[in-house]
Amino acid sequence: MPHLSHPGSTARVCPALRKPLALLVGAAALTAGAAQAETITVATVNNNDMVIMQSLTEEFEQAHPDITLDWVVLEENVLRQRMTTDIATQGGQFDVMTIGSYEVPIWAERGWLQPLEDLPAEYQEGDLLKPVRDGLSHDGVLHALPFYAESSMLYYRTDLFEGAGIEMPEQPTWEQVRDWAETLHDPDSDVAGICLRGKPGWGENMAFVSTLVNTFGGRWFDMDWNPEINSEAWQNAISFYVDLMNNYGPAGATSNGFNENLALFSRGNCAMWVDATSAAGKLFNPDESTVADRLGFAPAPVAETPKGSHWLWAWSLAIPASSDAPDAARTFITWATSQDYVNLVGETKGWTSVPPGTRQSTYDNENYQQAAPFAGFVVDAINAADPLDSSLEPNPYVGVQFVGIPEFQAIGTQVGQMVASALSGETSVDQALSAAQRATERTMQRAGYLD
Amino acid sequence: MTTTAGTTTATAAPAAAGISPAARAQRRRKVAMAILGWGVALIIFFPIFWMILTGFKTEADAIADPSLIFSPTLESYTEVQSRADYSKFAWNSVVVSFGSTLLALLIAIPSAYSMAFLPTRRTRGTLLWMLSTKMLPSVGVLVPIYLLFRDFGLLDTRTGLTIVYTLMNLPIVVWMLYTFFKDLPRDILEAGRMDGAGTLQEIWYLLLPLTLPGIASTGLLSVILSWNEAFWSLNLTTSQAAPLTAYIASFSSPEGLFWAKLSAASTMAIAPILIFGWLTQKQMVRGLTFGAVK
C-alpha cells in the first residue's frame, strides 16, 4: 500500500496556505468565544404560535447575546410523556418546558417547577388575565408564564343563518343549537348541521364533553371524590350529544378532533362548530379558510347553567427544577410572554398572529382590535371561565374541562373511549356511562381517594 | 435476449399454436401470480406513494377529498427546510444506524459462530431467551434505562443511542447469523482446521467470505430497523443526537393543519434509506434466500 503521508508532514505548511490558515485559526477562536454563550433547551409543541416563537429566535439571541436557544419540537402527547419522564427522573434535559394548565399545579405541588417570584416590574405581571394567572399559580405563586390561552366558543356560518332567517342571540342555548342544526343540516350539499369533537382522549372529545356536562348541571366528582358519571346530568348531556351528532353531525365523527373539525369548517362543511377560541385566527384568515367572509362568533351554548359551559386552557412556559441554566431560562420565558413580544409578533407577523388570551393590554391594543373582530368574545370567555367553580353543584377539583389530579389523564381518556363507543353506536349511552363509572371508581380506589 | 420484435412474433406464433394444455395452464398460473405479486406490491407501496404525493400539495389540498389532480407545489418542502436543520438529523441517523449495526455485527459474529459450531446443552435455550427480550414492551424498561443514561451522561448523545440500538437489534442479528452459519457445511471449517487455521483465521478466511451475503443482508436489516426506530430516539434524545424520526415527529401538530408538511418531512426522512435499500436489494434478497437455495 502506498504511503499517503509520513510523520511530520502536517508540520510543514506551504507559504501560500499560511494566510488562509491564520484566518481559519482566528475564526475558530471567535467561534470558541461565541460558544461560551449559555445554551438553553426549549421543549415545545408544533402549534402555530410556537412556530412563530421559534422563528423569532434570532431576535431574542440578538437582544441577549449571552444566551443561545436550542429547540425540541414534538407532538403534544409525545412531548408530555417525554417531559414527564425527564422531570420525574430529574434528567435535566430541558431548561424550558411548554406545559398546559393541567400540568402546572400538579407539577408545582411536587416541587418539579421553579417558582417564578419577584418578576421584574417591566414584565407587568398585573397585566396577565386573572383566570389565566390563577390557573398557573400554586400557593399564590406563579410556576409558569402564560404563552397563549384559549376558551371555547360557537362558530357559525352567517350566510346559512341569514338564508334560513335565524338570528343569533347574545347567549345561545343547546336547545336552540339543536333546532338550528336540524334546519341547516344538508348532507346533499355536504354541510353538516353541527361539528363537534368525537375523537377519544382527555384533551380531545372529553374537553368538549366536560363543558357540555358542566352546563347540563353535572360534575366529575362529588365533594368526597365519588365519581358521578352515571348521574342524570351526565345521561342527559351524553344522550343529547349522541343524538345531535348522529342526526346532524358529519359522517365518521369519532375520528374528528380539533384539526379535523377545523378542516371541515374551513372548507364549508359545517354550519356550526363549538371549539377552541384559538381557531378564530385560522378561520378568519382567507388563505386558510374558504368561509373567512361568512364567519360568525357567539359564546359557547348553555343548558341548565352557564357555569363551566366554556373551557379555559393556557399553554405556558415553565422552568423545571432540574434545569442547570435557570437564570437564562427565566430571561427567555419573561421575553416570550411579555407585552413587547406580543408587539413584536404583531408588527412582524401580523396582528391576527399574536398569541391571544394572556394579557389585557393585547385586548386594549387598537391594532389587534381592528385585525381580530373575535377578540372581545375571546377575552370575555376567558374572564368568565372559573376553574375553581366550574359546575352547578360544588366540586373538589380545579379545572373546567379537566380535573386537576394526576389520575385524570387515564380517567379522561378511558371515559372518552366509552363516550366515543356510544357515539359510534357500539354501545348504548347507558352502558357506556355505567362502564365509565365503574372504571373511574376502580381508578379512584386504587389511587386512595375512595375506600 | 437479443431477438428483435419481428423475429419474436415470427417464432411465437407457431409456438403458441403447438402449446400443450399443461404448459398453457402453467403460463396462466404464472400470469396470475405476476398479477397477484404486482397487486400486493402496489398495496404495500400505496401509503408511501400517497405520502410522497401529499408532500407536494398545499395544506388545504392535503385535507381536501383525495385526488390525484392538483397543482404541485414545493411550499411544504421550503417550510420544512426553514424550520429545522435536516442535515443534522440525517447525519445523526446515519451515524447511529451504521454505528449500531457495526457494533452488533462485531458482537454477534463470534456469538453466532460459537452457537452454530460449538453448541452446548443450553444453546437453544439461550437463543430463545435472547429472542424473548424482543417481546418485552420497550416502555417497560424506559425509566431504568433513562436513569442509567442520566447517570452515565449518555442522554442526548449518539453514543448512547448507538448502544441502545445495538442492544435492540442484537437478538435478531445473532439469530439470523446463527441460521446462516448453521447452513455452512462443518467439513469446510474442519478442513481449514486440519490445515492449521486457528479460530480467528477460521472465521476471517472461511466463515465470513462464505456467508458474506447472509452477513450483508443481516447488516442491511439492522440498518433499516435502526433507521426506522422511533421510541428510544424520541425518549433519549433532545437536540444534539436526535435522528430523523425526531425530525418527523416535530411536524405533527395538535392545533392546525400539518399533513403536507409532515408528508414532506417524512419523504425526506425515508429517502436515504429507500435509495439505500433499492441499491442493495440484490444483496438483501440474495442473503435472505441464502439458506433456501442450498
Give the 3-state DSSP-derived string for A14-56, with helices as H, strands as E and coil as C. CHHHHHHHHHHHHHHHHHHHHCCCEEEEEEEECCHHHHHHHHC
* B60: nearest CA partner in chain A: A288
Q: Does A428 touch chain B (CB under 8 A)?
A: no
Q: Residue A46 is nearest to which of B60, B142, B258, comparing CB atoms?
A: B258
pLDDT at res. A402: 95
**Contacting residues for B180 by C-beta, under 8 A, at least 6 apart:** B112, B211, B214, B215, B218, B287, B290, B291
C-alpha cell, A317: 412556559
Residue B286 binned pLDDT confidence (cut-offs 50, 70, 90): confident
Q: What's the rounded mean pLDDT across residues B146-162?
A: 95
Alpha-carbon gap, residue B290 to B23, rounded angstroms? 30
For the whole model, what pTM was predicted?
0.80
How distant, in Å, are the alpha carbons of A386, A438, B31, B286 from that of A234? 20, 14, 60, 62
**Contacting residues for A164 by C-beta, under 8 A, at least 6 apart:** A180, A183, A184
Residue A368 binned pLDDT confidence (cut-offs 50, 70, 90): very high
Q: What's the rounded mean pLDDT across residues A11-25?
A: 46
Residues of A in contact with B144 (CB under 8 A): none
**Contacting residues for A136 by C-beta, under 8 A, at least 6 apart:** A101, A104, A142, A143, A144, A145, A146, A314, A316
The 3-state secondary structure of chain A reads CCCCCCCCCCCCCCHHHHHHHHHHHHHHHHHHHHCCCEEEEEEEECCHHHHHHHHCHHHHHHHCCCEEEEEEEECHHHHHHHHHHHHHCCCCCCCEEEECCCHHHHHHHCCCECCCCCCCHHHCHHHECHHHHHHCEECCEECCEEEEEECEEEEEEHHHHHHCCCCCCCCCEHHHHHHHHHHHCEHHHCEECCECCCCCCCCCHHHHHHHHHHHCCCCCECCCCCECCCCHHHHHHHHHHHHHHHHHCCCCHHHCCHHHHHHHHHCCCECEEEEECCHHHHHCCCCCCCCHHHEEEEECCECCCCCCCCCCEEEEEECECCCCCHHHHHHHHHHHCCHHHHHHHHHHHCHHHCCCCCEHHHHHCHHHHHHCCCHHHHHHHHHHCCCCCCCCCCCCCCCCCCCCCCCHHHHHHHHHHHHHHHHHCCCCHHHHHHHHHHHHHHHHHHCCCCC
How distant, in Å, are the alpha carbons of A7, A8, A9, A14 from that of A3? 11, 13, 12, 20
* A49: nearest CA partner in chain B: B255
Q: What's the rounded mean pLDDT across residues A374-388?
A: 90
Determine, for residues A258 and B254 on separate chains, whether the beta-carbon distance falls below 8 Å: yes
Would you identify the CATH topology of the domain B85-249? MetI-like fold (1.10.3720)
**Could you tell me if A72 and A42 are in contact, meaning their C-beta atoms sit under 8 angstroms apart?**
yes
Determine, for residues A82 and B242 on separate chains, whether the beta-carbon distance falls below 8 Å: no
pLDDT at res. A341: 96
pLDDT at res. A24: 46
β-pairing verdict for A145-150 and A137-138: unpaired
Residues of A in contact with B59 (CB under 8 A): 288
pLDDT at res. B197: 85
β-pairing verdict for A313-318 and A145-150: antiparallel
Q: What is the pLDDT of residues B71-104, one digit of tens each?
A: 899 999 998 888 888 999 999 999 999 999 999 9
Shortest distance between the Cα of A274 and any Cα of chain B, in A, equals: 15
pLDDT at res. B290: 62
Q: Residue A41 is nearest to which of B64, B238, B249, comparing CB atoms?
A: B238
- Please give the mean pLDDT across all residues of chain A: 89
Determine, for residues A262 and B256 on separate chains, whether the beta-carbon distance falls below 8 Å: yes
| Residue linked to cell 479460530 | B199
**b/e code B50-89 from CB counts within 10 Å (16+ = b):** ebbbbbbbbbbbbbeeeeeeeeeeeebbebbeebbebebb
Q: What is the pLDDT of residues B200-250, one digit of tens each?
A: 888 888 889 988 888 998 999 999 999 999 999 999 999 899 999 999 988
The residue among B239, B247, B251, B261 with the most chain A CBs within 10 A of its CB, best to mutate, is B239
Q: Residue A82 is nearest to which of B234, B257, B258, comparing CB atoms?
A: B234
Determine, for residues B63 and A51 on separate chains, whether the beta-carbon distance falls below 8 Å: no
Asked which of A231-235, A360-364, B31-35, B188-192 is least confident by mean pLDDT, the reply is B188-192
Alpha-carbon gap, residue A329 to A68, rounded angstroms? 10
Q: Does residue A28 have a pLDDT over 50?
A: no
Shortest distance between the Cα of B289 and any Cα of chain A, in A, equals: 37
Q: Does residue B124 have a pLDDT over 50?
A: yes
Q: Does B231 touch chain A (CB under 8 A)?
A: no
Q: Residue A73 is nearest to which of B60, B63, B250, comparing CB atoms?
A: B250
The answer for A 295-334 residues in CB contact with B (under 8 A) is: none
Q: Does residue A226 have a pLDDT over 90?
A: yes
* Number of CB atoms found within 10 A of residue A27's CB: 10
Determine, for residues A70 and B238 on separate chains, whether the beta-carbon distance falls below 8 Å: yes
How distant, in Å, are the alpha carbons of A273, A372, B259 from that of A279? 10, 12, 17
The answer for A 68-87 residues in CB contact with B (under 8 A) is: 70-76, 78, 81-82, 85-86
Q: Does B155 touch chain A (CB under 8 A)?
A: yes
* Number of CB atoms found within 10 A of residue B151's CB: 9
Q: Does B241 touch chain A (CB under 8 A)?
A: no
Alpha-carbon gap, residue A389 to A318, rounded angstroms? 25
Residues of B in contact with A55 (CB under 8 A): 83
Q: Does residue A21 have a pLDDT over 50?
A: no
Nearest Cα neighbor of A76 from A242, A283, A313 is A313
β-pairing verdict for A313-318 and A67-74: unpaired
pLDDT at res. B291: 55
pLDDT at res. A171: 95
Q: Residue A46 is nearest to which of B63, B242, B250, comparing CB atoms?
A: B250
Residue B60 binned pLDDT confidence (cut-offs 50, 70, 90): confident
Q: Does B230 touch chain A (CB under 8 A)?
A: no
Q: Does residue B18 have a pLDDT over 80?
A: no
The pLDDT > 90 percentage for chain B reads 54
Determine, for residues A47 and B250 on separate chains, whether the beta-carbon distance falls below 8 Å: no
* B252: nearest CA partner in chain A: A75
Q: Does residue A13 have a pLDDT over 70?
A: no
Bridge partners of residue A155, in order along the sequence: A273, A297
Q: Residue B235 is nearest to which of A82, A258, A278, comparing CB atoms?
A: A82
pLDDT at res. A169: 97
Residue A285 binned pLDDT confidence (cut-offs 50, 70, 90): confident
pLDDT at res. B17: 56
Instruction: Please report the domains of chain A, with CATH numbers, ordered by start residue.
Output: 37-150+313-371 (3.40.190.10), 152-310+388-446 (3.40.190.10)
Q: Does A267 touch chain B (CB under 8 A)?
A: yes
User: How many Cα neighbours within 13 Å face the side chain of A265?
Assistant: 35
Chain A and chain B share a number of CB contacts under 8 A equal to 90
| Residue linked to cell 413584536 | A344
β-pairing verdict for A96-99 and A67-74: unpaired
**Could you tell me if B158 and B232 are in contact, meaning their C-beta atoms sit under 8 angstroms apart?**
no
Q: What is the pLDDT of residues A59-108, one digit of tens each?
A: 999 999 999 999 998 887 788 888 888 888 888 999 999 999 999 999 99
Q: Does residue A353 have a pLDDT over 90?
A: no
pLDDT at res. A33: 42
Cα torsion for A138, A141, A147, A149, to the nearest 10°? 50
Q: Does residue A393 have a pLDDT over 70?
A: yes
Q: Does B238 touch chain A (CB under 8 A)?
A: yes
How distant, in Å, are the alpha carbons of A186, A265, A273, A279, B273 from that of A258? 22, 10, 10, 9, 34
Q: Residue A93 is nearest to which of B156, B234, B255, comparing CB atoms?
A: B156
Q: Does residue B292 have a pLDDT over 70?
A: no
Residues of A in contact with B235 (CB under 8 A): 81-82, 85
Q: What's the rounded mean pLDDT across residues B162-172?
A: 95
pLDDT at res. A36: 63
Q: Does B157 touch chain A (CB under 8 A)?
A: no
Q: Residue A74 is nearest to which of B249, B256, B257, comparing CB atoms?
A: B249
Burial environment of residue A384 by CB neighbours within 10 A (0 to 12, 13 to 18, 19 or more): middle
pLDDT at res. A295: 95
The residue among B235, B253, B262 with the most chain A CBs within 10 A of its CB, best to mutate, is B253
